[in-house]
Structure 1
């Protein structure tokens, strides 16, 4: 039975002294705005996350490797035979000592760190072989050659 008020109409009974009940809807517009801003930020910064040392990589039809568990060491050799570990240039004389330091840092790990070797395609193979020999001599034998993918590599 509904209660009638002084004007003869029905009144709704409000709980707790006539306060409004909480709104049961969620406004998703701010959430969508934030997600679109994050998407734009990631789209702009993703191309910048590649290695900063410009190397003209050769093309191959090799399949991409699985992502390693630990961050690999980027070793780059540019067209003018400058060697970089990460983004830091390293002279040929100090390369063996730097590789030994990387090996010593990995001694407590269950697996040695992956070395990603990026060599310019215009280099003479002897220079790349020398760098690979230094890696092997230091005990860093998990070496991957970085190339660009192609369906019709020469």
Structure 2
């Protein structure tokens, strides 16, 4: 009996999911994210001085408090990717509150190479008055040493 009702020649239904279209979509998304990720800049635009120095110890998993001074002398406090412009007189209070919540959080200063030296020293003195024992300075390696 060879007809359309013959069960011997019928194929079994597949119980597997075809994942090839999902892989294609995932690869397209990966390429899109790889292209757009370098375009996303976070933080304050600061032209850092270029010096050779030893990197700081990154064994501490806490997000550091980054105090940035831009070319115009404006001060920004960054914690966890959130930039906030502050005045110098309220900087000490804000950092003291952050250190109260998370004691031992590292504090780093990003100063633009064109910022006044006196302003950076005043900023570091304000941080010391807020209870910061050690302040790290952020710089960029000279071209060719990266």
TM-score band, normalised by shorter chain: 0.7 to 0.9
Select the residue among 97, 114, 122 that pairs with 1:122: 114
Residue-by-residue CA offset, 1:86-106 (whole Å, 9 max, x unaligned): 222111121121121112111
Residue-by-residue CA offset, 1:47-81 (whole Å, 9 max, x unaligned): 32431x12111111224445440111221111222
Residue-by-residue CA offset, 1:12-54 (whole Å, 9 max, x unaligned): 946xxx4524266844243133222133124313432431x12
Q: Relative to structure 1, is the Cα distance of residues 50 and 65 closer, same or farther in structure 2, using a 3 angstrom cutoff?
A: farther
Note if contact 1:59-1:148 (Cα within 8 Å) is conserved in structure 2.
yes
Question: Which entry has the higher C-alpha Rg, 1 or 2?
Answer: 1
Q: Relative to structure 1, is the Cα distance of residues 93 and 114 closer, same or farther in structure 2, using a 3 angstrom cutoff?
A: same
Q: Secondary structure at the match of 2:89?
A: coil
Residue-by-residue CA offset, 1:78-129 (whole Å, 9 max, x unaligned): 122211112221111211211211121114xxxx112221101112322212
CA distance in 2: counterparts of 1:40 and 1:63, whole angstroms: 35
CA distance in 2: counterparts of 1:20 and 1:93, whole angstroms: 77
Equivalent position of 2:129 in the other structure: 137
Equivalent position of 1:150 in the other structure: 142
Q: How many residues align?
A: 138
Alignment partner of 1:74 is 2:66: yes
RMSD over aligned CA atoms reads 2.9
Note if contact 1:79-1:122 (Cα within 8 Å) is conserved in structure 2.
yes
Note if contact 2:69-2:76 (Cα within 8 Å) is conserved in structure 1.
yes
In structure 2, runs of 5+ residues without a counterpart are: none
Note if contact 1:113-1:142 (Cα within 8 Å) is conserved in structure 2.
no
Note if contact 2:73-2:116 (Cα within 8 Å) is conserved in structure 1.
no
Equivalent position of 2:94 in the other structure: 98
Q: Secondary structure at the match of 2:40?
A: helix
Equivalent position of 1:57 in the other structure: 48
In structure 1, runs of 5+ residues without a counterpart are: none
